[in-house]
Amino acid sequence: MHKPFAILLPVFLQVLHAQPNFLDSLRHVLTTPPGVQLEFEIQQIMQGDAWSANGTIEIISADKYLAEIGDQQIKVEGTFVQTWNKASSQLIKDTLYQGNVNIVSLLNQHADNLKILNQHSAKGEIKISFSVPDMDATGSIQMHKTTFHPQKVILFNGPEAKTEMNVFKVNRISKPSKFDSFAPIVKDVIDLRE
């Protein structure tokens, strides 16, 4: 049930690269060194089952980030993904496939499969509606009009799947970052890379 976060983040990041006006400013805010940390709540509804959790994500650059949600830490560096479950001390190593769309991949430079449907600015906010035709998905990103900090990201992935991320706080990353100090204590490693 936690996989949709992996979908929502690349979508968010691809939207950032889709059009130069508002999206370039958002991308710049999120990826300017030393990066930013977002504190958020994520809610997901999939085929009638609901799940929610609070978390953080450190975005170091377009292809480097670390998300922490509950007992899981997900570190992405390029296409290499490590997911550590703190409770079980299990580490899963995997690869992001080309064309992957999630909240994080929205910062990627590859927005070919993202289509901007509408953009508007009102009452101190900017809202961008988009679709991802290859995934039969739609969604929106809402951000602050002057700081370009993300406030809400919504992704509809099919008729009974919705993921919503509400961002409460955006801060510059201070040293040391969780990304740089990621060193899980591991009892079991599962390597899914080919």
- Could you tell me if 90 and 74 are in contact, meaning their C-beta atoms sit under 8 angstroms apart? no
The share of the chain scoring above pLDDT 90, in percent, equals 41
Q: How far apart are CA 93 and CA 46, in angstroms?
A: 25
Dihedral, CA atoms, 152, 153, 157, 158, nearest 10 degrees?
Answer: 30
Q: How far apart are CA 47 and CA 127, in angstroms?
A: 27
**Count of residues making up the chain:** 194
pLDDT digits (tens, 9 = 90+) for 79-130: 899 999 999 999 999 998 765 666 655 544 445 567 788 888 888 999 989 8
- Is pLDDT above 90 for 53? yes
What average pLDDT does this structure show over 15-34? Answer: 71
Give the per-residue pLDDT at 115. 79
Give the per-residue pLDDT at 80. 92
How does strand 90-95 pair with strand 188-191?
Answer: parallel
Q: Which CATH number is 133's domain given?
A: 2.50.20.10
**Which range among 48-62, 108-122, 127-141 shows the weakest confidence by mean pLDDT?**
108-122
Average pLDDT, the chain: 82
Question: What are 178's two structure tokens?
Answer: 């969780």
Q: How far apart are CA 155 and CA 122, in angstroms?
A: 21
Q: How far apart are CA 58 and CA 43, in angstroms?
A: 19
Residues of the domain holding 85 = 3-191
Domains: count for the chain: 1
pLDDT digits (tens, 9 = 90+) for 149-160: 999 988 888 778
